[in-house]
Amino acid sequence: MPWNFTDLSKMTVRTLFLIFLLLQLTACSSSSFFFNNLSFFTTVRLDAMFDLSSDQEAIVKQSTNDLKNWLKNEAAHKSLKHLENAKNLWQNDQYNDAFEYAEKNTEDLIAEFLQAVSPKMTPFLLTLDEENAEHYRKYIRENSSEWFKYAISEDSKDDARIEQLEKWFGELTQDQITKAKAIVYLLPNEQQIRIDNTNHWVGRALEASLSRNHAKLETWLLDPSIWWLEEYKALRQSNRQQTIELVMMMSKTMNEKQKESVLERVDDWIGKIQDVI
């Protein structure tokens, strides 16, 4: 997933995708260690959110272990193929094609992941009680401002996007920074829209869990956007367009060192995924 510059809330179902597809491996000294202990890391994360009972922890560990075969035998191999193909496009100076390819195949892989995770996560969600729900609401209240702090001002959003670009391209030139700042802009009430959207889908998800509405939970897990606010959908589309323009700008202005920096980053991901196969 080499081109995901958009903000992804740490509380969405996509975060589970990020966890399971090893996007947190950068914090681990060994990707194989992380993968082998995936159930532990997932349980710790969900416990912080919901304050799990021992029975709930057992369900999470079993569900995560069940998913590991899919991750190792299908998702990891597909991710490697996509990374290699995107890398080849990049090496052949087809920069925009590489971005479009990576974006499309990331979305396809997310859809496949949601198909795999839905039957595993639904039983856990159906065990939540009011104490779990209140713990989760508190977790949201305490963390929302921090998650979306980059959207508090034009400067903070500029800095966040430039930081993301530099993770891939290395240090930007002053001209590139100036052009990036001209592309990136803060939408009216962007931070509050993100907070409101999080509160909205959390409320709907907890309502479905507590009422034991199996069908609604499965539908949501397969398509998290069903409980997004319209203002948030418009915001996402605007930010996606900004991302595309940033990529196009960098493809036209990058130097050889920056081009190689992207390849090194992709190779790093390829190596991490190979560690778990």
In a domain, residue 242? The reply is: yes
| pTM, full prediction | 0.83
- Residue 116 predicted with pLDDT over 70: yes
Q: What's the domain range around 232?
A: 13-276
Percent of the chain with pLDDT over 70: 87
In a 13 Å sphere around the CA of 251, the CA atoms on its Cβ side amount to: 19
Within a domain: residue 3? Answer: no
Asked if the structure places residue 195 within a domain, the reply is yes
Q: If pLDDT is split at 50, 70 and 90, which confidence band does 29 have?
A: very low
Whether 251 maps to a domain, the answer reads yes
* Cα–Cα distance, 58 to 41 (Å, whole number): 13
Q: Indicate the SS3 state at residue 223.
A: coil
Name the residue with higher pLDDT: 39 or 164: 164
Amino acid identity of residue 27, one-letter, is A
Q: Is residue 189 left, alpha or beta, with left meaning phi > 0 and alpha meaning psi from -120 to 50?
A: left
CB atoms within 10 A of CB 203: 14
Q: Are 70 and 61 in contact (CB under 8 A)?
A: no
For residue 9, the SS3 value is coil
228 closest CA partner among 4, 5, 16, 8: 8
Confidence of residue 113 (pLDDT cuts 50, 70, 90): confident
If you write DSSP's letter for every residue of 167-186 in order, what string do you get? HHH-SPPHHHHHHHHHH--P
Q: Cβ distance 245 to 181 under 8 Å?
A: no
Q: 29 in a domain, yes or no?
A: yes
Structurally, the chain folds into a number of domains equal to 1
Q: Has residue 192 been placed in a domain? A: yes
pLDDT at 1 over 50: no
Q: Is residue 266 scored above 50 in pLDDT?
A: yes
Question: Would residue 5 count as lying in a domain?
Answer: no
Which region, left, alpha or beta, applies to residue 48 given φ > 0 means left and ψ of -120 to 50 means alpha? Answer: alpha
Residue 62 is assigned to a structural domain of this protein:
yes
